[in-house]
Amino acid sequence: MIPAAEAEALILSQVVPLFSHHDAEVINLEQATGRILATEVISHLDFPHWDNSAMDGYAVRYEDVQAASATNPVTLTLSEEIPAGKPPQRLLQPGEAARILTGSMMPEGADTVIMQEVTERTETQVSVLEAPEPQQFVRHRASYYQAGNPLLSPGLRLNAPEVAVLAAAQCVQVSVFRRPRVAILSTGSELVTPDQPLQPGQIVDSNQYALAALAQQAGAEARCLGIVPDDPAALKVAIANALTQADIVLSSGGVSVGDYDYVDQILTDLGATLHFRAVAVQPGKPLTFATFTAQDRLGNSASSRSPLYFGLPGNPVSALVSFWRFVEPALRKLSGLPHSWAPTFVTATTRQDLRSGGKRETYVWGQLQQTAAGYEFMLAGGTRNSGNLINLAGTNALAVVPIGQNSVAAGSSVQVMLVGQPILNSGQ
């Protein structure tokens, strides 16, 4: 067994990220949410596009109103009204003011906006009752961004703010990295699909569905390849086929030391380098990580990206914990994200006692809440073992009991790995 941090570092050292020359695709902006930007975006537009008003009021010349006050108002002649979306029609002359609305273009000759709350207006004139600051309420052209400069950098995940920027920059199409391809298969003659009648001794395959959901949540394209029985020949064919069509292959089951655990030997026969076969974590000790060099038997050319193989445990909780802890960081790096691949850990206070055997880094599932006092971790109820996925529902965090420690007392601090969003508890 190797420690979790060492396993993570080894995995990430083997990941070759997608790169723009071979792994980019152009998509429409409305399809871009959640995707990773592949190339730098440069806009031909200034932001703001022109000088405009940040306030409903009057565009004026500062020198005309710099001495205005309630006791000594300055009265100006109204030259025009400038609605949003319409350009000014006149050069503003000394002694004049133009009615202007938020977002409207500033007329040439004006340099300051007086908000309407400090004015009194007649039909043809407006009196300014308060002296403004120079340039007040004017948003100057290119003050946010100057055309021709980098606007968005490669490796950025496109969420709502970035999509808004692209839309404002009139980027109706955008170059993004393709989604990483993850092939998933379940091993075990005892497994059946959820739509099959369950016979005595059989187990419904939940791992394939859970792992596909996790891969999709991580931004990957999941390819479910079905259930493979405990037959070495069939398993070898299935694994070899998976390796030809994916960046990452996930199998669950068949990586322990049982009589029907064939995966590691098959990987060796296919020319894999097995970097490790067990990690010092609980649940999830039996974990195989393997890589391949380009070789004819996999149908790869010398220049192609070599697939990564994760042989995950068959127990459902172990499979999910292994994905969260080890596979998801690899997917983040592969996807083109430039940094922040590792899981996010926060310090929380546990509400219950947490227990561990002490020999392995133990991950205990439950819910993380964010309160006024900080993060609090609540242990999932019911029986906690790697075969019971029922109480995994609602999990958003894994509390970590370190190696060599048998327990963490209620009320103590504990490191917690996020696997979802913390629940905001505003009532405390």
Span 350-370, pLDDT tens digits: 999 999 999 999 999 999 999
- Taking only the tens place, the pLDDT of each residue in 109-138 is 999 999 999 999 999 999 999 999 999 999
Q: 248 with 328, same domain?
A: yes
Q: 70 with 83, same domain?
A: yes
Q: For residue 276, what are the domain limits?
A: 4-18+178-334
**How far, in Å, CA of 270 to CA of 263, rounded?**
11
- Chain-centroid distance of CA 328 in Å reads 11
**How far, in Å, CA of 331 to CA of 38, rounded?**
16
- Taking only the tens place, the pLDDT of each residue in 375-412 is 999 999 888 888 888 999 999 999 999 999 999 999 99
> Is residue 67 included in any domain, yes or no?
yes
Q: Please, is 403 exposed, middle or buried when counting C-beta atoms within 10 Å of its C-beta (0-12, 13-18, 19+)?
A: middle
> Is residue 189 included in any domain, yes or no?
yes
Q: 191 with 284, same domain?
A: yes
Q: 297 with 255, same domain?
A: yes
Q: 223 with 233, same domain?
A: yes
The number of folded domains in the chain is: 4
**How far, in Å, CA of 57 to CA of 104, rounded?**
10
Q: 12 with 127, same domain?
A: no
Q: What is the CATH number of the domain that holds 150?
A: 3.90.105.10
Q: 182 with 330, same domain?
A: yes
φ, ψ of residue 214 to 5 degrees: the values are: -65, -40
> pLDDT band at 20, cuts 50/70/90?
confident
> Residue 382 has what pLDDT?
85
Q: 192 with 309, same domain?
A: yes
Of the residues 314, 334, 354, which one is the last residue of a structural domain? 334
> Residue 425 has what pLDDT?
77
> Is residue 339 included in any domain, yes or no?
no
> pLDDT band at 46, cuts 50/70/90?
very high
Q: 74 with 134, same domain?
A: yes
> pLDDT band at 298, cuts 50/70/90?
very low
> Residue 296 has what pLDDT?
39
Residue with tokens 């819910």: 367
> Is residue 340 included in any domain, yes or no?
no
Give the Cβ contact number of residue 108 at 10 Å: 10
Overall pTM > 0.85:
yes
